[in-house]
Amino acid sequence: MKVTLEKEQENLVKLDITIPAKDAVDAYNQAVRTISQYVNIDGFRKGKAPRAVVERHVGVERIKQEAIEKLMPKAISEAIIENKLDIITQPYITSYDFNVGEDLKVVAKAELRPEVTLGQYKGLTVKVEDAVIAEDALDKSIDALLRQHSTLELVVDRPANDTDTAVIDFEGFSNGEKIVGGSGKNYPLDLGHSNFIPGFAEQIVGHNLNEEFDIDVTFPEEYHDEKLKGQPATFKIKINEIKERKTPELNDEFAQKVGNFKTVEDLKADVQKYLESQRERTNKTNSENELFKTVVESVKVEIPQSMIDRETASLTEDYKHRLASQGIAWDNLVKAQGSEDEILKNIKDDAVVRIKNSLVIDKIAKDENIKLEQSDLEKKFAELGNAYGMPPQEVIKQFGRNADFLASISQQALNDKVRDFLAANNKVELVAPAKKDDK
């Protein structure tokens, strides 16, 4: 086999591959035998028709394509290895010249990984704001725990106040029309923590059990439904129940109920320990991100448009799937935001960042001989198992045969190893957070 390389625009390389006539004929004859096994030809059992009959039945070109499909994977693989090509996409055939009995000539093209020039990525010192624990963090955490274990008790002798939960029927109208999706029955609305239209919950406060009344609101200008943006609306309300939140007393009995604690002080110590560990995790993540950002900023690389287009298309499809899973149509999102161009521009910008980050990770891994071990993948599967609530073996069983999934897991594992390498070979200084007035 003979291979001639020709560098084309950007990172595209053309491979002129010549396969000896004997190998081409052998592949052609094998293709005849293969095809004859699954086609029905009158007068012959499957696999027994002569070559000439098979050629007349399915056509010579179809046999040639079968032969090329058998020959090319190995031929291209050898060409890549022999010429030490660092490709980023599967090579594709653009043309071929196949006359049985003569050398087979195939032209294939492949995209090469763009050249990455790293700046300084070892011996750096970066400063990161310390994720200090707020003075009231412990009190807020305890309050949240008390609220989590609170109960709702029915109220019948007073109007609703802004700390109650009201169970309501509601029906909305705007510009004389019923609002689609603007009604509900026995809906529990936390009057102090509502995400309804501004002014909705506030107007329920002060009304009594079984009372029926109207409230008037105005939809926000940034509301997702174009027809309702900034529009006035009236909602018919009926209060079916009023419930008062009863928060337990913070005492040793409560501490013993919520965990393996004897006293309130034991509980507070555990919460404080959690806050400290959360701070450590945040500092670690922020340090890794700031360090990686600093490394990337000094990198020089020209990303081919073809790579950007592919990544943008992939991210767009992923975005559409996630929207659909939330019941949001792409067209409705475009209408709400006014322009598809702006959405696609943001996705494209994200694609460029992802590509550059991936190229930098791969380059550092290559230069520092950072390789994945079986234990690295097992660690990622264990993390996924914890996230999905299943044993790692079950994760492997369900996803282990998915090539795209395995590629993604491998890339994540490599990212972790490179980030660990950067953390070990650079210095991070935690500094006091800047005051708001300083920003």
Confidence at residue 83, expressed as pLDDT on a 0 to 100 scale: 84
pTM beyond 0.75: no
Confidence at residue 281, expressed as pLDDT on a 0 to 100 scale: 95
Confidence at residue 368, expressed as pLDDT on a 0 to 100 scale: 96
**Whether the Cβ atoms of residue 157 and residue 208 lie closer than 8 Å to each other:** no
Q: What is the mean pLDDT of the chain?
A: 90
Query: Taking 60 as the threshold, does the pLDDT of residue 439 lie above it?
Result: no
Q: Over the stretch 165-180, which tens digit does the pLDDT of each residue have?
A: 999 999 999 998 999 8
Q: Over the stretch 350-372, which tens digit does the pLDDT of each residue have?
A: 999 999 999 999 999 999 999 98
Q: Over the stretch 237-267, which tens digit does the pLDDT of each residue have?
A: 999 999 999 999 999 999 999 999 999 999 9
Nearest in space to 305 (alpha carbons), one of 117, 114, 115: 114
pLDDT grade, residue 400 (50/70/90)?
Answer: low
Whether CATH 3.30.70.1050 fits 2-111: yes
List the chain domain ranges: 2-111, 151-246, 279-438
Compute the distance between CA of residue 371 and CA of residue 376 in angstroms, rounded to an integer.
Answer: 10
pLDDT grade, residue 385 (50/70/90)?
Answer: confident
Q: Which two tokens stand for residue 70?
A: 């058998």
pLDDT grade, residue 46 (50/70/90)?
Answer: confident
Sign of CA dihedral 56, 58, 59, 60: negative
Q: Over the stretch 264-318, which tens digit does the pLDDT of each residue have?
A: 999 999 999 999 999 999 999 999 999 999 999 999 999 988 889 999 999 999 9
**Buried/exposed code over 242-266 (b: 16+ C-beta within 10 A; e: otherwise):** bbbeeebeeeeebbeeeeebeebee
Specify the higher pLDDT residue, 383 or 215: 215
**Whether the Cβ atoms of residue 231 and residue 219 lie closer than 8 Å to each other:** yes
Confidence at residue 335, expressed as pLDDT on a 0 to 100 scale: 74
Sheet of 92-97, strands arranged across = 2-7, 12-19, 104-111, 92-97
Phi, psi of 371 (to 5 degrees): -120, 155
In terms of CATH, what superfamily is 279-438? Trigger factor, C-terminal domain (1.10.3120.10)
The torsion angle over the Cα atoms of residues 83, 84, 90 and 92, rounded to 10 degrees, is -10
Give the Cβ contact number of residue 170 at 10 Å: 18
Q: Which two tokens stand for residue 218?
A: 């105005």
User: Which listed CATH number (3.20.20.80, 3.20.20.70, 3.40.140.80, 3.10.50.40) goes with 151-246?
Assistant: 3.10.50.40
The HSE-up count of residue 212 (CA atoms within 13 Å, CB side) is: 3
Q: Over the stretch 124-157, which tens digit does the pLDDT of each residue have?
A: 999 999 999 999 999 999 999 999 999 999 999 9
